[in-house]
Structure 1
Amino acid sequence: MNKPDQPNHVNLSVAKKLPQTVVVLGLVSFFNDFASDIVVPLIPILLATVFAAGPVALGLIEGVADALASFLKLWSGRHTDMKSGRRKGLVLTGYMLSNLARPLLGLAGSWVTVLLLRSVDRVGKGLRSAPRDAMVADATPSHIRGYAFGFHRALDNAGAVAGGLTAAAVLAWSDLSLSEVILWSAVPGFAAIVLLGAGIKEKKGDRIPPEKLQRTLSPLRWSALSVPMQHYLWVLMLFTFARASETFILLFGHELGISVVELLLLWSALNLAKAITSTQGGQLANHFGRGALILIGWSALAISFLAISQITTSIGLWMISICYGLFMGMSEGAERALISDYASPDERGTAFGWYHLVSGIAAIPSGLLFGVIWHVYNAAAAFIFASVLAFLAIVLLRVWAWPARQGYNE
Structure 2
Amino acid sequence: MKRFIKYTSLSAALIVLWTVMIFLGTDQGWWHTPFTEQKESTKFIASVHKELKKEFVGNMAMAIFKDGAPVTESFHSKNTSVNRNTVFQVASLSKFVSTIGVMRLVQEGKLDLDVPVSNYLKRWELPPSSFDNNKVTVRRLLSHTAGLTDGLGYSGFENLKDVQSLESSLTKAKDADQGRNGSTQVGILPGSEWRYSGGGFTLLQLIVEEVSRQSFDQYMRIEIFEPLGMQSSFYQWDEKFRNKLCDFYNADGSKAPHFYYTSLAATSLYTTLTDLEKLFALFNIEKSTLKPLQPKYQRMMWQAEANKLGAPIYGLGTFLFAEIDNGQFIIGHDGQSNPPINTAFRYNPTNGDGIIILTTGNSDFATRIASDWVFLNTGKVDTLLFAMQQNKMVSNVIIGSVVIILLIITISLSRKYYKRKVTHKHKIISTSNAI
Alignment TM-score > 0.5, same fold: no
Q: Which has the higher strand share?
A: 2
- Normalised by the length of structure 2, the TM-score is 0.28
The higher-RCO structure (CA 8 Å, 6+ apart) is: 1
